[in-house]
Structure 1
Amino acid sequence: MPPHNWIDLKQDANTGIETLRAHFEGHAYDPHWHDSYLVGVTEQGIQQFNCRRTRHQSTPGKVFLLEPGDIHDGEAPSEGGFTYRMLYLDPKWLQQELGAVFDEAPDNTELSFANTLASDVQLARATSLAFESLHHNELNIVRQMALDGLLERLTNHLHWRTRYSGDPRLPRVAKMAGEYLHAHVFEDISLEQLAAATGVDRFRLTRAFKAAYGMPPHAYLVQLRLAKARRMLAQGEQPATVAMTLGFADQSHLGRWFVRAYGLTPAMYRKRCSNLPDR
């Protein structure tokens, strides 16, 4: 990592929520996604990112809200870079905690953010308070109160939407290819195999897939594996074991992709989330 960039990452043992504070100048990270809900606040500078086919610029005090699977990148378009703080909320935890507010979810739906970028002073303040209480391991009652305050403010930006699996906007070929990649995530899949499974040639497949998901099939497969790598590393698995299990050529291969997507090495991520020393 360049010397002017830094990342401070921790994970709350009770909720599994990751808290991250970071500073980047220039390029921050390549397009990637998370399997968590992301709620973050820009502290300083201009935080520029592409998400849902739109380029966003988050300035100090703005809140950015990303759903699981939202492909996004990051860069600093101006001198001095940007600093931000982020909460990674587990979807099951979020739905459970909001149960008292929303009662029961309608059939075949999931929680969704109304907008990617919000100018909401109270939500920004609630996000920062939740971050501080978790990141600095405050008393349990303090953490709970801060999270309740965050959830209360988030309800103004959440709604139920139909699950993507039934989204008619996804072309049939792309949907079939995505399902195949999820089912064979540990395998060394060729583009020819994927094309055969969807019944089209690989050129039509690639065009349809990229139009639907925002990246070609091979990059999507890597992102699936990286998402699984994060979970395994947070549970204390060694990077070498994770690389072998998920089909990366070796630990270095996993490391290169991990840094490009998340800005830190698998070993650093494991240490900060699991509190286990490297062996």
Structure 2
Amino acid sequence: MSNDWIDVRHSAKYQIETIQAHFEGHAYDAHWHDSYLVGLTRQGTQQFHCRRHKITSQPGDIFLLEPGEIHDGDAPTAGGFTYQTFYLSPAWLDSQMRQLFHDTPSSYQLSFAKTLNNDRPLARQIANAFQSVHFGELTMVQQSALDNLLASLAVHSHWRARVDNARLPLASAHRAREVIHSQFNEDLSLQDLANAVQTDRFSLTRAFKKAFGIAPHAYLIQLRLAQARIRLAHGERPAQVAAELGFADQSHLGRWFRRAYRLSPAQYRQICTNLPD
């Protein structure tokens, strides 16, 4: 019998999702989010792959992931692990952090120096802010806790210039990603994608895996799942979302959604909107 559980809350006010969960054994497959993740391991040992490294997070450790960073999750020891995580909208976090970093050019984007650290003051601020937001404290209490979190997070953040994809060593992979983003709800073939960036599909697959860690088809599925989260959070029905994003049917969307997020599309929609499916 599984002892896994997950508790998700959605705050439209701050464009923030908060998740606390417990997993034993395999937690979730490799996936990415279009949010910044700021999390804290509360109990047990959490293990995941990110930035081409295997990362082990112990109680009190902090994990920081940028949008698009591929990661998975496993519990390598008995008893599993428990964590708390903020999913922060890039637009919201950018606007808030620019108030702390004055005169940062608009062409720069926020980045985290390391995926894992054990800064105890930051861990306390994550725990305090999570308690305030997840459990709906008074607005002023939430804002104060989030401000303290952002101030502590600033120590581990920096701004990096946005790179012109055409000048990157794996330019064909980056151009292919742009094509995927522009046509993510269409039935693109690998050959279509290779033709669009003027290469062959074998070279493209190798370059794409080297640039982003997964094959083009896997990236397309993750992008569709990220779009599904947005649409479900706005109240669209799973069947409608599946049809408009190119999934074969609602059950096809559901299988992929549960593998990545451990929730069904209907459960996620209800958490975000309080609407029954």
Normalised to the residue count of structure 2, the TM-score between the two structures is 0.97
Are the equivalent residues in 2 in contact too, given 1:17–1:87 (CA < 8 A)?
yes
Q: Which residue of 2 aligns with 1:115?
A: 114
The offset of 1:109, in angstroms, is 1.4
Gaps in structure 2 of 5+ consecutive residues: none
Question: Helix, strand or coil: the match of 1:208?
Answer: helix
Q: Which residue of 2 aligns with 1:264?
A: 263
Give, in whole Å, the separation in 1 of the partners of 2:139 and 2:261: 29
Give, in whole Å, the separation in 1 of the partners of 2:169 and 2:215: 14
Q: Which residue of 2 aligns with 1:37?
A: 36
Give, in whole Å, the separation in 1 of the partners of 2:187 and 2:92: 33
Q: Per-residue CA shift, 1:241-265, capped at 9, x if unaligned?
A: 1101101000000011111111111
The offset of 1:112, in angstroms, is 0.2
Give, in whole Å, the separation in 1 of the partners of 2:104 and 2:258: 36
Q: Which residue of 1 aligns with 2:27?
A: 28
Are the equivalent residues in 2 in contact too, given 1:170–1:212 (CA < 8 A)?
no
Question: Helix, strand or coil: the match of 1:151?
Answer: helix
Q: Which residue of 1 aligns with 2:195?
A: 196
Q: Which residue of 2 aligns with 1:104?
A: 103
Q: Which residue of 1 aligns with 2:182?
A: 183
Question: Helix, strand or coil: the match of 2:275?
Answer: coil
Indicate the RMSD between aligned Cα atoms, in angstroms.
1.3
Normalised to the residue count of structure 1, the TM-score between the two structures is 0.96
Question: Helix, strand or coil: the match of 1:101?
Answer: coil
Aligned amino acid, residue 22 of structure 1: A
What count of residue pairs does the alignment treat as equivalent? Answer: 277
Pick closer, same or farther for the CA change 1:16–1:139 going to 2, 3 Å: same
Aligned amino acid, residue 57 of structure 1: T
The offset of 1:121, in angstroms, is 0.6
Aligned amino acid, residue 53 of structure 1: R
Q: Percent identity?
A: 57
Give, in whole Å, the separation in 2 of the partners of 1:133 and 1:92: 21
Question: Helix, strand or coil: the match of 2:235?
Answer: coil
Give, in whole Å, the separation in 1 of the partners of 2:205 and 2:48: 24
Pick closer, same or farther for the CA change 1:84–1:223 going to 2, 3 Å: same
Aligned amino acid, residue 155 of structure 1: A
Are the equivalent residues in 2 in contact too, given 1:106–1:160 (CA < 8 A)?
no
The offset of 1:95, in angstroms, is 1.3
Pick closer, same or farther for the CA change 1:100–1:229 going to 2, 3 Å: same
Q: Per-residue CA shift, 1:78-105, capped at 9, x if unaligned?
A: 1111000000111111111122211232
Give, in whole Å, the separation in 2 of the partners of 1:234 and 1:104: 34
Question: Helix, strand or coil: the match of 1:200?
Answer: coil
Give, in whole Å, the separation in 2 of the partners of 1:61 and 1:168: 40
Are the equivalent residues in 1 in contact too, given 2:166–2:175 (CA < 8 A)?
no
Q: Which residue of 1 aligns with 2:18?
A: 19
Aligned amino acid, residue 245 of structure 1: E
Pick closer, same or farther for the CA change 1:164–1:18 going to 2, 3 Å: farther
The offset of 1:164, in angstroms, is 4.8
The offset of 1:108, in angstroms, is 2.3
The offset of 1:277, in angstroms, is 2.1
Q: Which residue of 2 aligns with 1:58?
A: 57
Q: Which residue of 1 aligns with 2:235?
A: 236
The 5 Å alignment of 1:213-232 reads: 213-232=212-231
Are the equivalent residues in 2 in contact too, given 1:67–1:113 (CA < 8 A)?
yes
Q: Which residue of 2 aligns with 1:174?
A: 173
Q: Which residue of 1 aligns with 2:207?
A: 208
